[in-house]
């Protein structure tokens, strides 16, 4: 029955994380997977999450099924977080929001919906993008293409080429965009660039699909929602998958959502119905616990304030690590420009290291990066940043 099955080469990110766990070297540094570690190298459990969980345990509620679309209090809070409570798109009821199994679950449900209802649409992702975007949309039966994005020469965005390519896309194409903290490069569009892009998307009859996995890690919780609000205010229809894995440090709980912004409330009702059907066919309904935790943290004013302070602290620690890395590398290799570490945002930076240099870092120095040269800056700490920078300087020299 199974002799024809091909072996799975493994996932480039998750496989590396497994290899790191098995590495016996005591000085190892995990800069591979997109996980925020605190300065002691631990994945934090946020105080707001601990308190919300305690409240839920104390209340002892039943563990019934959630509806296919998830918990109502979570879905409402997600809309207000993404769009702002008073935004016309929220108050008019023209957004269909589902609580999903992480934002990956949201991306997948959205992909299946697109395949069913917009079967001729092709997907365009940035070059490069998160490895799993292509795999996920292709897994939904969609054709995936790229548009120009990262410019290795400048460590910034090829914005002119990006706009030109997007202008030429067939009407109805799906354009996957990272709302903030681009994964893997850390290179984001500025608000002014979003303001140039939005009319191009609108004029071209394109359907944006935003991925917002790192809200709060860029410039702030509100600031990082700039693209979401710009698209909604311009009247575009679009998808947005968002995650609480990083922002609430809830990785394994799979806390995320999918929102589809429609033209009016009647359309949103139809879209929500078909999204519910898609969920039922995939995993029936999302998990109760993460929905309840997210709802409580976002809706309770004290827990919300504590969460916002924690997100700010995580963001600032990453920025401090960027500065330390930049300082040590600039001192060790004064002929090279490492300013991109300072301008890139969020958990990731594209280091410019070749796959061979990444292999040397791992083999000779126990420093783990994805082979594309992507570094998870959130894995740096005051204890390892000097050693990591020295190892990088050694392989770059």
* Residue ranges in contact with ligand LMR by CB under 6 A: 13, 33-34, 130, 132, 183
Cα–Cα distance for residue pair 385/388, rounded to 1 Å: 5
CB closer to ligand LMR out of 13 and 314: 13
Smallest distance, Å, CB 245 to ligand LMR? Answer: 7
Q: Contact at 8 Å (CB) between 384 and 29?
A: yes
Q: Whose structure tokens read 């998307």? A: 201
Comparing CA positions, the residue from 209, 182, 199 lying closest to residue 121 is 209
Q: Say how far apart CA 92 and CA 87 lie, in whole Å.
A: 9
| Pairwise CA distance, residues 72 & 99, whole Å | 9
Bond from prior residue into 177 cis (ω within 30 degrees of 0): no
CB nearer to ligand LMR: pick between 13 and 157: 13
Least distance to ligand LMR from the beta carbon of 55, Å? 29
Residue 99 or residue 104: which is nearer to ligand LMR going by CB?
104
Q: Of 112, 188, 211, 310, which one is the catalytic site residue?
A: 211
> Taking the complex as a whole, how short is the minimal distance between the CB of residue 2 and ligand LMR, in angstroms?
27
CA dist., res. 368 & res. 333, Å (int): 21
Is 211 catalytic? The answer is: yes
Residue closest to ligand LMR, measured at CB: 34
Residue 190 burial (CB < 10 Å; 0-12/13-18/19+)? exposed
Of 108, 112, 130, 158, catalytic: 130
Identify any residues that bridge with 141 across adjacent strands, giving them in sequence order.
none
Contact 193, 162 (CB under 8 A): no
Select which of 158, 194, 224, 246 is catalytic.
246
Choice between 174 and 241, CB closer to ligand LMR:
241
- What is the closest distance, in whole angstroms, from the C-beta atom of residue 384 to ligand LMR in the complex? 18
Active site residue 130: yes
Question: 130 or 239: whose CB is closer to ligand LMR?
Answer: 130
Q: How far is the CB of 282 from ligand LMR (least distance, A)?
A: 18
Catalytic residues: 130, 211, 246
């Amino acid at each position: 029955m199974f002799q024809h099955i091909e072996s799975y080469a493994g996932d480039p990110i998750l496989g590396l994380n497994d290899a790191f766990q098995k590495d016996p070297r005591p000085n190892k540094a995990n800069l591979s997977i997109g996980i925020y570690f605190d300065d002691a190298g631990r994945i934090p459990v946020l105080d707001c999450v601990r308190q919300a969980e305690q409240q839920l345990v104390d209340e002892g509620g039943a563990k019934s099924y959630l509806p296919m679309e998830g918990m109502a209090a979570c879905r409402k809070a997600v809309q207000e977080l993404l769009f702002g409570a008073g935004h016309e798109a929220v108050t008019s009821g023209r957004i269909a929001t589902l609580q999903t199994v992480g934002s990956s679950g949201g991306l997948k449900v959205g992909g299946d919906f697109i395949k069913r209802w917009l079967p001729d649409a092709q997907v365009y992702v940035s070059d490069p993008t998160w490895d799993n975007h292509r795999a996920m949309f292709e897994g939904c039966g969609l054709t995936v293409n790229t548009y120009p994005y990262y410019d290795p020469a400048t460590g910034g965005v090829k914005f002119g080429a990006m706009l030109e390519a997007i202008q030429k896309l067939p009407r109805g194409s799906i354009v996957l965009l990272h709302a903030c903290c681009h994964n893997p490069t850390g290179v984001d569009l500025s608000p002014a660039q979003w303001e140039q892009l939005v009319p191009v998307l609108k004029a071209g009859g394109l359907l944006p699909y935003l991925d917002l996995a790192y809200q709060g890690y860029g410039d702030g919780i509100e600031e990082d929602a700039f693209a979401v609000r710009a698209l909604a205010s311009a009247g575009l229809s679009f998808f947005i998958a968002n995650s609480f894995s990083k922002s609430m440090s809830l990785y394994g709980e799979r806390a995320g959502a999918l929102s589809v912004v429609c033209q009016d409330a009647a359309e949103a009702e139809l879209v929500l119905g078909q999204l519910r059907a898609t969920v039922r066919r995939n995993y029936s309904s999302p998990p109760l616990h993460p929905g309840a935790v997210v709802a409580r943290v976002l809706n309770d004013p004290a827990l919300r304030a504590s969460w916002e302070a924690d997100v700010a602290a995580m963001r600032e620690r990453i920025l401090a690590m960027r500065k330390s890395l930049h300082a040590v590398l600039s001192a060790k290799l004064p002929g090279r420009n490492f300013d991109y570490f300072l301008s890139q945002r969020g958990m990731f930076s594209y280091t410019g290291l070749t796959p061979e240099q990444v292999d040397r870092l791992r083999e000779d120095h126990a420093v783990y990066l994805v082979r594309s040269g992507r570094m998870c800056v959130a894995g740096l700490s005051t204890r390892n940043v000097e050693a990591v920078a020295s190892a990088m300087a050694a392989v770059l020299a």
